[in-house]
Each structure stands twice: as structure tokens, then as C-alpha cells.
Chain A
Amino acid sequence: MTREDIIKPENLVYKRTPVLTDATMHYCPGCGHGVVHRIIAEVIEEMGIQDNVIGISPVGCSVLAYNYFDVDFVEAAHGRAPACASAIKRLRPETFVFSYQGDGDLASIGCGEVVHACNRGENITMIFINNGIYGMTGGQMAPTTLEGMETVTCPYGRDPKIMGHTMRLTEMLAQLPGTYYVTRQAVYTPAAARKCKKAIRQAFENQKLNKGVSFVEVTSNCNSGWKMTPVQANKWMEENTLKYFPLGDMKVDGKFDPKFIERVGTFDQPNETIFSLRKK
């Protein structure tokens, strides 16, 4: 069987979805943003909601997301995507609304917005890309930077005594009553990417139920910011990031996952020395 015999329309198993435009993405080679964009576009295509979906893009690397999706898009001010998404969903309850944010935008600058949107239980889907760094501005420390991880603004590694602890925002949001589905996924292997697609599909389907926020965190790499090749960055992520940010569901159908409750009990306690210093 020759190559020409195989390449026929009836044998097609995978093709770039038409919900993505033909524009070449500006992301660095190997960036997780591209995979997540494609997964969201595939979910929109499979659900047949291309005419009835509005996305909110953040400030950060994915600020130009509206160039790549062939759906309606709004570009929000820095960190304000959940507020913007809440307003759109309240005015157009039949429309599927998703916000797409990075960790600098969601966990740092827009921390208040996301906590209150989750607490109000807005019926939206939030996609949170966590790469532990401010990628667009050159790799500064973010709240999600791991302890000991070197960035431009902490060249000797993040020291929790001065710079605070790594923030597990998704675990925090899972404990709010307004969230209906909270999960953490990754896209560094084919199996993880397929699981991530299932989770994002679930997050979009939940909007039909009108039960609250569906929050999907995607642990991603930032090979330019971490100063590694894409393959090395994925390996580093697997060895380090995923130990602090383990993958899996935290809340499904408004109920805590038993594994998540077990895991929360094992969290490190706050550093006693910091608290004793602050008391003085």
C-alpha cells in the first residue's frame, strides 16, 4: 500500500479543526497554549456551538487568542476576564462563555476577580494555564512559581521566607461553594492531552446545567522562560511541577473527589519561623 493509497478523505483520522483560523500562532515552539487552543476549538466544533460561544482572552502570552479562534472574542483588562465573562453570561444566558487566562493574569493580578466569580457561582467555564512564570514579559516570578525555582526576578531561586509560598489556587477555588467542576490537567503527553480534552468538554457541557463555575487548570510549560528546549521543559515539568501540582479532578458534579480530600490533609504546614517573626 503506497502513501497515495492511504491519503484519501475516507481514511482521515485527524485534521486541524476549522474553528481555528489559518493564522500561524505567535507562541514559542512547544508551548502548551497551542495545544489548549486546539483542544478548546475541537470541543467547540464537536458540540456544534461555534455560532453561540464567546471567549474572553486575558493579558499575557495568550492576549492574541482572538486571532486564532474563529468565534466571538472579547479582550479583557488585566486579570478581569472572569468579571467580563460574568457580565456576558448574565446578559446572554443561552451563550456558552469561557475565559482563558494564564497564571500571572488569574493567580496574581486577577486573583480577586476569580475568587469572587467562583464564589458567586457564575455559570461559566474558566480555563487556567499554569506555567509558573510570567511568560510574556520575560519570565518574572509569579505566585505559582515553585519554591527554589530560578526566574529573572529571583535568580537565586524562590525563597518562601521572603517571597511567600507557591500558591495552589485551584485547590483554593475547589473549596468555594460556587464551583461545580474543578480539575487539573496537563498536555505534555498524548494521553494527558486526550484526558484534558475530556475535561474541557465536560466543563463546556456543564454550562447547560446552570450549576456554577467549571474550572480547568492546565499545567503547562514555558520553555523560553525556563530556558530549556521544549522536550526538556516537558520533562522538567513532569519531575517538578507535577509533584507540587498533582493532576486529577478535585470537584466533580459539585462534590469533592475523595482523593482530593485525602491530599489536602497532607499539605505542608506554614513555615513556623515566618509566623514567629511577624508576631514580633
Chain B
Amino acid sequence: MAFKGALVIDTEKCKGCAVCITGCPQDPKCIALSKKVNAKGYNYLEMVNEEACIGCASCAVICPDGVIEVYRAKC
């Protein structure tokens, strides 16, 4: 049974520390820092490889600011 995940990222609260990227188990990583910046000037997180996300929430459990919301569906 395969799972498919999706993330909702609060880009205004993200501080671009990139700790979550090291937590992502997929290769290549599902998430990366954007080239755009938010109101505070940080390169916020965005999904780059949406197909690969399995909704494991590994990124969310080590996010210091709790900006990642994780959804997972069976498919």
C-alpha cells in the first residue's frame, strides 16, 4: 500500500534553517529552500519534489518553529 503526502508550509513563520531538509528520508529530497524570501527576509521552505512525499512527518517533528502541516492519503 502506498501513501502519498502533502505539506502545507506557513511561509511567513519559516526561518529557513534547513534542519527539516536533513530530516527528509527521500532521495532526492522533497523539500528545499526557495529562492524567494518572506517578509522577514528568510529563504522559506517549499516543496520541490511533490511526487516523492510519503507524508512521514519527519520534517515536521524537527521543525523548531512548527510551520509544517502534514497530510497523508492512501492511494
Give Cα A171 to B6, complex, Å.
42
User: A9-17, A53-61, A132-140, A249-257: which one contacts chain B?
Assistant: A9-17
Contact between chains at A6 and B65 (CB < 8 Å): no
Contacts of B65 in A (CB 8 A): 24-25, 34
The count of chain B contact residues (Cβ–Cβ below 8 Å) is 34
How many chain A residues sit at the interface, stated as a range, is 35 or more
Contacts of A32 in B (CB 8 A): 64
Contacts of A25 in B (CB 8 A): 64-65
CB contact under 8 A between A38 and B15, given known A14-B60, A29-B42, A190-B23? no
Contact between chains at B71 and A33 (CB < 8 Å): no
Q: Is the C-beta of A111 less than 8 angstroms from some C-beta in chain B?
A: no
Q: Which residue of A lies closest to B10 (CB)?
A: A16
Contacts of A5 in B (CB 8 A): 73
Give Cα A244 to B26, complex, Å.
31
Interface flags for A225-261 (1: CB within 8 Å of B; 0: not) read 0000111001000000000000000000000000000
Contact between chains at A6 and B73 (CB < 8 Å): yes
Give Cα A229 to B46, complex, Å.
19
Give Cα A34 to B20, complex, Å.
13
Contact between chains at A11 and B15 (CB < 8 Å): no
- Which residues of B30-75 have CB atoms within 8 Å of chain A's CB atoms? 42, 50, 55, 57-73, 75
Give Cα A6 to B51, complex, Å.
12
Contact between chains at A193 and B62 (CB < 8 Å): yes
Give Cα A194 to B23, complex, Å.
12
CB contact under 8 A between A33 and B23, given known A7-B71, A8-B71? no
Give Cα A194 to B62, complex, Å.
9
Q: Which of B5, B62, B63, B68 meets A6, CB within 8 Å?
A: B5
Q: Which residue of B lies closest to A27 (CB)?
A: B64
Contacts of B62 in A (CB 8 A): 35, 187-190, 193
Contact between chains at A6 and B6 (CB < 8 Å): yes
Contact between chains at A11 and B22 (CB < 8 Å): no
Contacts of B22 in A (CB 8 A): 189, 231, 234
Contact between chains at B18 and A38 (CB < 8 Å): no
B interface residues, Cβ below 8 angstroms from A: 4-6, 8, 13, 15-19, 21-23, 42, 50, 55, 57-73, 75
Interface CB pairs A-B, < 8 A, 7: A6-B72, A12-B70, A14-B69, A29-B42, A34-B63, A187-B62, A231-B17
A interface residues, Cβ below 8 angstroms from B: 1, 3, 5-8, 11-17, 20, 24-25, 27-35, 38, 187-190, 193-194, 229-231, 234
